[in-house]
Amino acid sequence: MGERDKVRRMREMRKDAMEIFTASLKAVDPIIAVKKHLSLDGDVLQVGKRSYDLSNYSCIYVIGCGKAAASMSYALEDILQNRISGGIINVKYGHTKDLKYIKINEAGHPIPDEAGVEGTEEILALLHGLRGNDLVIFVLSGGGSALLPLPKDGISLVEKQRVTKMLLDSGASIYEMNALRKHISKVKGGQLARVAYPATSISLLLSDVVGDRKDVIASGPTVPGESTFGDCMSIIEKYNLKLPESVMNLIKKGVNGEIEETPEAGDPIFEKTFHVILASNIMALKAAEQKAKELGYNALILSSAIEGETKVVAQVHTAIAKEIRASGNPISKPACIISGGETTVTIKGKGLGGRNQEFVLASATEIAGMSDTVILSCGTDGTDGPTDAAGALADGLTIQRAEKLGMQAMEYLWNNDSYHFFEKLDDLIKTGPTNTNVMDVRLLLVR
């Protein structure tokens, strides 16, 4: 095959990859997800398998946080209209919708800021006034942990920001990060449910965590906590974290039993709570699988639960590409391997990027010269790390193109500078805020 034919094939495969990714996003649109699970017939609100007679409630409020909170609230307003008495949600800057009954507070993510604290205080003020005949609907999605910041007394916002930054850079998993964030917070780990009690509460969850654990999504503000102060100390020791003195003192007091744990299962505050997961990563992957088949690929979903160091995960995926080319296993060409979950990056360099961009860059070095292979990896929220890109796209000719521009891929990889690498190649994928968040979608195409 001539060079022009190779380039033409790569261009076609890149187009296919983008169509497949777009299909995965549509499948987890929060507005569609809410309306799939909620419906109103007269005074009866159907939420999943449960029914709520709204005539029994004096007021209905909507409270929430996360990158998808505005879209979820938009759907609720469309369903409930003026039955909504009011509400407050904290969202990431730019992740908004035009709402009529619910106030939007834009705040910082992934590092919490003062706007997030102020919005959380407003939420608490509203919840403190709820009564037994009130109904509160919580809309919670990925990003909620950073967007609902209210440190415990004695811990400043600056110190909380330092903790968040250290955890992000350490390579800690989302479970580990949220365990710590819960225990230095006034609202996470079921503590928001404690404030809302005795009102009836419904939590609508858009899952951005492996295993769809309700206590981990947005750090579980309305869900019984499963982690302990002892777990927090183990995480600190595991990653050798040099946390602020105020935080360490709090954790030590918790370990010694001087501070109570977050609310646990069986606590009366959870008797009138109900949780439903509206959308998750596997839904996005299944939609990607269907689209790939429509485009003529043999499609296979590896897993929606892939975690671990990004570079290692990239090596596994590219090894599969090589096996497909060599033996036709685990599926034959034209092949589309699909995976999800959320990997981590241990920051060692001073560059700019995110786990998806780093995955693609690491993969590009492994598939160099394979002119029948394309790799895509994107965050479904439209944001990868502290960048304006959702992810990136590469093929077997990417490294060759980079070298012609005088770029050495491994230098960028060592410096965690995948953003600038792909920026120069015009291979960043920029969707803008998608207003959804169900972790990542990775595509491996071999034709």
Confidence of residue 404 (pLDDT cuts 50, 70, 90): very high
Span 7-21, mean pLDDT?
95
The pTM of the full predicted model, rounded to 2 decimals, is 0.89
Q: pLDDT tens digit string along 269-297?
A: 999 999 999 999 999 999 999 999 999 99
Residue 112 has pLDDT above 70, yes or no: yes
Per the CB < 8 A criterion, the answer to whether 179 and 353 are in contact is no
Average pLDDT on 97-121 reads 97
pLDDT digits (tens, 9 = 90+) for 68-85: 999 999 999 999 999 999
Question: How many residues are recorded in the chain?
Answer: 447
Is the pLDDT at 335 greater than 80, yes or no? yes
Nearest residue to 177 via CA among 152, 207, 143, 154 = 143
pLDDT band (50, 70, 90) for residue 1: low
Q: In the prediction, which pLDDT does 5 show?
A: 84
Q: Quick one: pLDDT at residue 4?
A: 83
Q: What is the mean pLDDT of the chain?
A: 96
Q: How many CB atoms lie within 10 A of CB 202?
A: 23
Q: What is the pLDDT of residue 168?
A: 87
Q: What whole-number distance in Å separates Cα of residue 305 and Cα of residue 142? A: 16
Per-residue pLDDT, 271: 94
Mean pLDDT of the 57-61 span: 98
% of residues, the chain, pLDDT over 70: 100
Per-residue model confidence (pLDDT) at position 7? 83
> For residues 335 and 298, is the Cβ–Cβ distance under 8 A?
yes
Q: Residue 3: pLDDT above 80?
A: no
Q: Which of 28-32, 130-134, 264-268, 325-329 has the lowest mean pLDDT?
A: 264-268
Number of Cβ within 10 Å of residue 248's Cβ equals 14
Q: Which residues of 410-422 are buried (b: 16+ CB within 10 A; e: fewer)?
A: eebbebbbbbbbb
Q: What is the pLDDT of residues 161-217, one digit of tens each?
A: 999 999 988 989 888 999 999 999 999 999 999 999 999 999 999 999 999 999 999
Question: Domains of the chain (ranges plus CATH)?
Answer: 3-26+282-446 (3.40.1480.10), 30-150+185-225+262-279 (3.40.50.10180)
Residues above pLDDT 90, as percent of the chain: 95
pLDDT value at 372 more than 70:
yes
pLDDT recorded at residue 175: 87
**pLDDT tens, 339-358?**
999 999 999 999 999 999 99
The pLDDT tens digits of the residues spanning 424-434 come to 999 999 999 99
pLDDT given for residue 174 in this prediction: 86
pLDDT above 80: residue 376: yes
